[in-house]
Chains A and B, each alone.
Chain A
Amino acid sequence: MKKIIILGGGTAGWMCAAAMARFLIPRGIAITLIESDQIGTVGVGEATLPHLRFFNQTLGIDENAFMRATLATYKMGIEFQHWGRIGDAYIHPFGEYGRELDGIPFHHLWLKARQSGRAAPLDDYALPVKAAAAGKFDFPHPNPRSILSTFSYAFHLDAGLYARFLRDFAEQLGVERVEGRVDTIGRDERGHISALKLQDGNSLGADFFVDCSGFRALLLGGTLQTPFLDWSRWLPCDSAVAVPCESNRPPPPYTRAIAHSAGWQWQIPLQHRTGNGLVYARDHLSDDQACQRLMNSLPGPTSTEPRILRFKAGRRKNSWVGNCLAIGLSSGFLEPLESTGIYLIQIAITKFLALWPQGGSYPAGRREFNRQMSLEYERIRDFLILHYHATEREDSAFWRYCRYMAIPDDLRLKMALYREQGYIVGYGHGLFLQPSWLAVYHGQRILPKTYSPQADLLALDEIDRLLSGYRRLVQKGVAAMPDHASVIARQCGMRPLPVPPTAMSLYGGIAL
């Protein structure tokens, strides 16, 4: 393999180009990215997950430079408002709730104490929840015994600036950028893509093609006709309207996801503005109503017209077909409720590079890549569906539908297990792990019928002491943390502190 062409230059395209520039150009592979300034980008994923830190670290990107370039803020979780019931709020943190004792998961100890009226609210045992709610932030402590090591962090960023930042990075490492729009797509006798002919008449050939053309999926969908698996029966929102506004208060270190009668609304605080959007199902809310609702609830003034996006939840049956790999929106779409857009781009890139067919033989790597990506999508899908389904809301047709809809078997089993005896299904790869499921189950009012009998191995007084001690540690830890805004100012200023290393993890952010 000698040459790869990436089609599309949004977040997905330039993330892919940057990674390939770092890892494939040194192996003698030429990388070309084709994009057109005439085509706008969706600007996917202004809110991210902690894994992005690992991606930047792997590429050798300085995190402080990245913060400055993308006008980013730090993020410790997502606050969900009005999901279980109108008036409810909880934070899904990038961190742990308490700590297990003798192999007994913390939430079982908490459930036992709670039953006797001897437990504080669950959030009191999660440092990232309390810190985020208080507007505090600091880098996780490298000592795993420290309470300040029990969380990780991500970013809110300007996706357009991030793509620009990565473009500079990739071009410096030798990626060739070609301005142009694709006119026709050439295929060889095996059906593989052989060349892209641009509207200016220029034709570019390559051994391998990466489709980052967004929702249009020009290569994987348009040319290779890969079927789309439609998940809209479980995730009925099909539109979003987005508009930035001015920010006139310190940015909170978390994203907001505020449910409304036919979907939800996001607020993403950046250094210079707040990103806003309203996700909705057109069967239940018209575009005009959605725009009006969004404009009426902005946290600051705006001079921009709202922009409407259309989408359908689901994914392509395979993300890698023949010599074409789709990354980002061309591969599938899951609404940004849990900020998974950039994660899915990143994970596709890293999986592809790990299975890189240096010898030019695709089938085995392709099969494994597609298997892994379908697992990633389905695990995230189920977690998103949980937010809609685990509700007591009946105030609109939309929520009644979500509450009573049939859900995937896997998710039904997971929810039944938690309800039955507090068991949270775990898996080694992919999003999301036990603390995330606990956050949403608990935050949306699902309580187990009973706790694990293992918790009865410990006397109530002992559990009480453990919980009280941990809660005090959380309080002390939060009190010692600086304000979020001051950390941003420090890290983007003249004397930033060194940033701790990270691992590919949602929770334990420290590489040990």
Chain B
Amino acid sequence: MNRSTNTGSAVSSASSAAQPVHWVVYGNNPAARYCQLYLVQQLPRERICVSLVAPGGKVSGAGFLFGDSAMEHCEIGIDPRDLLQSNTADILLALRIQSEANPQAGHWLASGGYGFMHQGQPFFHWWQRSRTLFDASEFNLVCRAAEAGRYGDIPTNAPEVYRSLERGLQFSYRDYCDHLDLAAQSRKLPVYRQQATLSPVDEHRFDLQLADGTRMQAGFIIDCDGALLAESALHNGQGGRSLPLPASRMTQTLSGCRKRLTAAHCTIGRDGWQLNLRGLRLDHKVIPAEYLRSYPHAWAGNLIGLGAALNIGGLAVDSLAQTQYQLRQLLPLMPLQTEDGCLRAAFNRQVATYNREVTDLHSLCHWLAGHTRRLSPGARAQLALFRASGSTLQTDIPLISAETRLLLPTLAGFWPRPGTIPTTGGDSDYNRWVRKLSADYRQAATTLPEYHCYLQSLCTSSSREKLCE
């Protein structure tokens, strides 16, 4: 009996490709720059060369990344600590969400880190009994620390409440692009700062026609902007599909001094939302009766759309985070010579699944904010399940923690129907326990260093390790 049977010789030399494939990334935003650095970092130079074509114009906007998305900068060869040290970004622990109608009554919201399982009950269930006394954020160290302006390394022997200090990054797009431009420059990566349009090679493939008249041959083109995807759709006579997400227009103003904080503020109104972070104020005005249009396939021919190009909104998941996820899907499916049907089909399927998740989350957020009366089918199912049993839909792509997903409707006053969530524990025991727990969280937050002290301590090696874990 042959215990190890696979003696075939089908594997070919991966390094036998004669010429590196030329990939062109198009866009003047964080995602395009991230994309170029990612591909160069993740693949050997003998296999791929990556040019960035960045159309001119000022980069505006700001955004935030949570959890893995924030820490994945190690994958482009940039330590997130460098983004903090260079004042390109700040740690983001939680958002202060408030309503335009009642700006005094706000809630802290983090992407995770709420409580823990207790007696077999998830946080959202055991918290129900005390929700009139304690805000959910009182059982979240991240929210407590954001409120207190504190952040630091978690002690190795930390008690239970410390165990989830999920952090993100916040930044203005301009600062972020400047930082990544320097990284590209130091690595001598080709960058062309001009407009470009598609130049058809055949029915399915394009090169790029640069504004200076140069025709740039491309094995593959990644569009992080959307202009090329729109042009291609026009070329092929295909329109986008309407999503249940309201279109919006963003204006940016300086909101005052640029104090470094671990929190950002979001004010929700019926006709838009306002985001304040790192000294910028971003006003997003909903355009009545106008909806986002997206594309059914991210990859067609040799053109691949990522992030903002796919136009699925950015209310809760930044287009850079979308790009990061899509790039991770693309990397193992990247064709080495010419595009292959099964790789493209798999990528399109994976991106469609991810985009549906993001669209559902955005749809739910917009609906809860009153921006639209349309709800995606997934968001509708989510809301129905929440009301019926205080649960979330199972997903292979968790964008935010289950607890945060459950808390979102409560910010707009939606709760599970009475009686759907079981009550646990004896009253006096429970009240004593929950009161002490809240105090523990408060105490734990105050023992963390002030954020500015943390920033000063960044030179130490231990901080570096913590961030890159």
What is the interface of chain A, defined by CB distance below 8 A to chain B?
23, 27, 58, 81, 84-85, 87-90, 103, 111-112, 114-115, 121-124, 133, 354-359, 361-365, 367-368, 371-372, 413, 416-417, 420-421, 423, 425, 427-429, 442-445, 447-457
Contact = CB atoms under 8 A, between A and B. Distances in A.
A354 B391 contact: yes
A423 B349 CA distance: 15
Nearest to B16: A450
A450 B332 CA distance: 12
Interface stretch (B41-49, B85-93, B138-146, B309-317): B41-49
A442 B6 contact: yes
Contact of A122 (B4, B120, B343): B4
Nearest to A423: B332
B385 interface: yes
A429 B4 CA distance: 29
Contacts of A416: 342
A81 B385 contact: no
13 contacts: A355-B391, A358-B421, A364-B381, A368-B381, A368-B391, A368-B393, A417-B346, A420-B342, A453-B43, A453-B44, A454-B42, A456-B44, A456-B46
B461 interface: no
A363 B4 contact: no
Contacts of B75: 103
B340 A456 contact: no
A451 B46 CA distance: 15
B381 A367 contact: yes
Contact of A89 (B2, B42, B389, B398): B2
* Residue among B1, B14, B48, B418 with most chain A CB within 10 A: B14
A359 B4 CA distance: 55
Contacts of A444: 5
Interface string B322-357: 000000000111101000101101100100000000
Contacts of B422: 27, 358
Given A121-B4, A359-B418, A359-B419, A428 B14 contact: no
B213 interface: no
B388 A363 contact: yes
A85 B5 contact: yes
Interface in B413-429: 417-422
Most B CB atoms within 10 A — which of A103, A358, A372, A448? Answer: A358
Contacts of A363: 384, 388
B112 to A, nearest CB: 16
A123 B384 contact: no
Contacts of A417: 333, 342-343, 346
B115 to A, nearest CB: 17
B396 interface: yes
Given A367-B384, A447-B6, 13 more contacts: A122-B4, A358-B419, A363-B388, A364-B387, A367-B385, A368-B391, A417-B342, A428-B397, A428-B398, A445-B8, A449-B10, A453-B43, A453-B48
B2 A451 contact: no
A442 B13 CA distance: 18
B299 to A, nearest CB: 14
B214 interface: no
Nearest to B46: A456
Given A123-B4, A356-B389, A368-B394, A420 B343 contact: yes
A170 B388 CA distance: 28
A445 B12 contact: no
A121 B13 CA distance: 19
A364 B384 CA distance: 6
B5 A443 contact: yes
Nearest to B386: A364
B11 A450 contact: yes
B4 A90 contact: yes
Contacts of B393: 368
B14 A429 contact: no
A321 to B, nearest CB: 17
A89 B388 contact: no
A306 B342 CA distance: 46
Contact of A112 (B4, B14, B384): B14
Most buried by B among A112, A361, A425: A361
B11 A365 contact: no
Given A450-B336, A456-B44, A133 B3 contact: yes
A39 B403 CA distance: 45
Contacts of B332: 421, 423, 452, 454
A122 B6 CA distance: 9
A358 B390 CA distance: 10
A455 B44 CA distance: 9
A327 B40 CA distance: 51
B388 A450 contact: no
